[in-house]
Structure 1
Amino acid sequence: MTQTTLIHATRPLLDEKAAWLTILADERRSSPHTIEAYERDLRQFLIFLTDYHARPAQLGDLADLKTADLRGFLAARRRDGAGAKTMGRGLAGVRSFIRHLERKGLASSAGAKAMRAPKQPKSLPRPLTVDDAMAVTEEAGAFAADAWIAARDVAILTLLYGCGLRISEALSLPGDALGDATARSMPVAGKGGKTRLVPLLPAVLEAAAEYRRRCPYPLTADNALFRGARGGPLQPQIVQRAMARLRGVLGLPDSATPHALRHSFATHLLAGGGDLRTIQDLLGHASLSTTQNYTAVDQARLMSIYEDAHPRARRRRTG
């Protein structure tokens, strides 16, 4: 190992790095796994700058970071064998740190914003895995500008996955929704004005309570539950952008959208033994065929359900 990799940053820069990691842990509620990954990614970037300048990286090196600097970093990571997902997460970590410096007047994020993330491999639309869906809800607030916005993002994505709501349904909730920590269900107005009851998991109630505690705007029945940065009703595009950032961080495909969390809710219930009729009711679908298409049920899974349920199928297996 060379000397440049042993001392890869000056003390002021390392102090800002430590402050950033503390904010991720305490205010953004990032998981230890994410913080460890971000620390490693930023360290690799600072080592790259150290080797490039032939001296330890300084705060001034990040004050006006150019797109070319980031391209060089990604090219070096590619030569080391890093894939598109790893490089995308690394770029996201560097961007987060630059935004931290920008908020303190120590850097500009213009170059980082202009840099496109490495193109991720194309994949067919599909639900998230259980682990990926859990990671999305845990890391939802990692890049929010304020602690209350971080709590909001966690609450809304936890709600989409935990209750299977459409994003329009979640954004239509009144300000007094999810205010009762003892509630076990909640009415939701779906398509065509039809109302259904959805069960509330403890994780959903906890995330909602944290958001309600931190939200700086009054949350009453005559206004929206989820609010934008300036206090107006939250727009779907903001949630979609938050999910896009998470895709880069977690290395998820383009199909990992807010709607995919509803898809994942239904698919994971079905995989866990839930019946199609119950899932149909929870999703608010008018017909069972829609539920079958929505949950991407394959023929083998359908046959397994029918063989377990139909008397003739059971008789044939036991006969």
Structure 2
Amino acid sequence: MSVAISDAARDALADWLSGMKSLRGASEATIGAYRRDLVDYLSFMTEHLGGPQGIAALGRVTTSDMRAWMARERGAGLGARSLARKLSAVKTFYRWLAEREGLEVTPVLSARAPRYQRSLPRPLAEDAARAMIETVGSSDTRPWVAARDAAVVTLLYGCGLRISEALSLTVDDLPLGDSLRIRGKGGKERIVPLIAPARQAVEAYLEIMPHPVTSGAPLFRAIRGGALSARTVQKSMERARMGLGLPATATPHAMRHSFATHLLSAGGDLRSIQDLLGHASLSTTQVYTGVDTARLMEVYEASHPRAARR
């Protein structure tokens, strides 16, 4: 939508986004998504209400106006999950406006997102995860490429890394020790243990990797020496899963799911797994591992300071 929004609304949006980046550490991708969502919302309200909406006018948005916006989004083909995400961004912006400008924003905050079925992750069985690593490690006729792919997949399963985190490692992270410092979503850092099989897989790859190991260079290299892409790893796992007869859900992210689920089933503490995965919310880890509410409450009762004092 190309409708112009008011200068006041645009300035407020810019200030809010700046705060999200500096105070909450939101990533550039997140900031970009918030900007698109809010510009689209503000543009709709400009057109719907018949003119550019200043700060005071934004506080006069009604429940009916919110319903009209949500109906337009659904009518344009936006799915329930995407609309819920978009509404969450709008509500966060309005909470900030309420604190800064003293606006009454109850109609916006009371808007209900459409219900949707949250898809649960599908981890691999332990033997399937091991078979995936072994198959990836023998699926390319070039030994260094096979060793590279095996090393990446081993890091995903052995350390619970996101594919982007594994591929962001550089030569400067060498030599590998007993842990890795990972910069995850929003630039947040965490320390994850590096198990011996993962370290050995990376070292085996480096021994035969033909490209120069220079400071600043990516740890995992493409055929011509550039940074390895996530798509290349996905293709390698696609070939492996077809050979193993595994479902299409056997993706790089499924290896991270498998790490968390297998660790939990072996007796791992949910809070510790949350830290290892870099989840900001325990509820995210709950969904990630498929843990039920009763188990989540056990963790809460055992770890929450106020609960522990009762």
TM-score by length of 2: 0.56
AA aligned to 1:200 is L
Moved more, 141-150 or 205-214: 141-150
Partner deviation per Cα, 1:276-319 (whole Å, 9 max, x = no partner): 11011100111111111112223465467679989xxxxxxxxx
Other-structure match for 2:252:
258
Other-structure match for 1:233:
227
Other-structure match for 2:207:
213
- Paired residue secondary structure (1:176): helix
Q: Is the 8 A contact 2:133 2:154 kept in 1?
A: yes
Aligned residue runs from structure 1 range 119-268, under 5 A = 125-180=121-176, 183-268=177-262
Partner deviation per Cα, 1:203-261 (whole Å, 9 max, x = no partner): 01110110000100122331100011111100110000001011111111111100000
Q: Distance in 1 between matches of 2:213 and 2:291?
A: 39
Instruction: Return 5+ residue gaps in structure 2 as ranges.
Output: 1-118, 305-310
AA aligned to 1:199 is P
Mark the CA change 1:201 to 1:208 in structure 2 (over 3 Å): closer, same or farther. Answer: same
TM-superposed CA distance for 1:127, in Å, is: 0.4
Q: Is the 8 A contact 2:271 2:299 kept in 1?
A: no
- Paired residue secondary structure (2:180): strand
Partner deviation per Cα, 1:138-159 (whole Å, 9 max, x = no partner): 2212221310001101100000
Instruction: Return 5+ residue gaps in structure 1 as ranges.
Output: 1-122, 311-319
User: How many residues are paired up?
Assistant: 189
Match of 2:292 among 272, 292, 298: 298
TM-superposed CA distance for 1:176, in Å, is: 3.4
AA aligned to 1:131 is D
Partner deviation per Cα, 1:152-191 (whole Å, 9 max, x = no partner): 01100000000000000011001233533xx111101101
Compute the RMSD of aligned alpha carbons: 2.6
Q: Is the 8 A contact 1:127 1:263 kept in 2?
A: yes
Partner deviation per Cα, 1:19-76 (whole Å, 9 max, x = no partner): xxxxxxxxxxxxxxxxxxxxxxxxxxxxxxxxxxxxxxxxxxxxxxxxxxxxxxxxxx
AA aligned to 1:210 is A
AA aligned to 2:175 is G
Mark the CA change 1:129 to 1:301 in structure 2 (over 3 Å): closer, same or farther. Answer: farther
Aligned residue runs from structure 1 range 99-114, under 5 A = none
TM-score by length of 1: 0.55
Other-structure match for 2:27:
none
Q: Is the 8 A contact 1:157 1:258 kept in 2?
A: yes
Mark the CA change 1:209 to 1:277 in structure 2 (over 3 Å): closer, same or farther. Answer: same
Match of 2:264 among 270, 274, 278: 270
Q: Distance in 1 between matches of 2:239 and 2:294?
A: 35
Q: Distance in 1 between matches of 2:182 and 2:297?
A: 32
Identity of aligned residues (%): 59
- Paired residue secondary structure (2:272): helix
Q: Distance in 2 between matches of 1:292 and 1:233?
A: 33
Q: Distance in 2 between matches of 1:139 and 1:285?
A: 30
AA aligned to 2:173 is A
- Paired residue secondary structure (2:141): coil
AA aligned to 1:212 is L
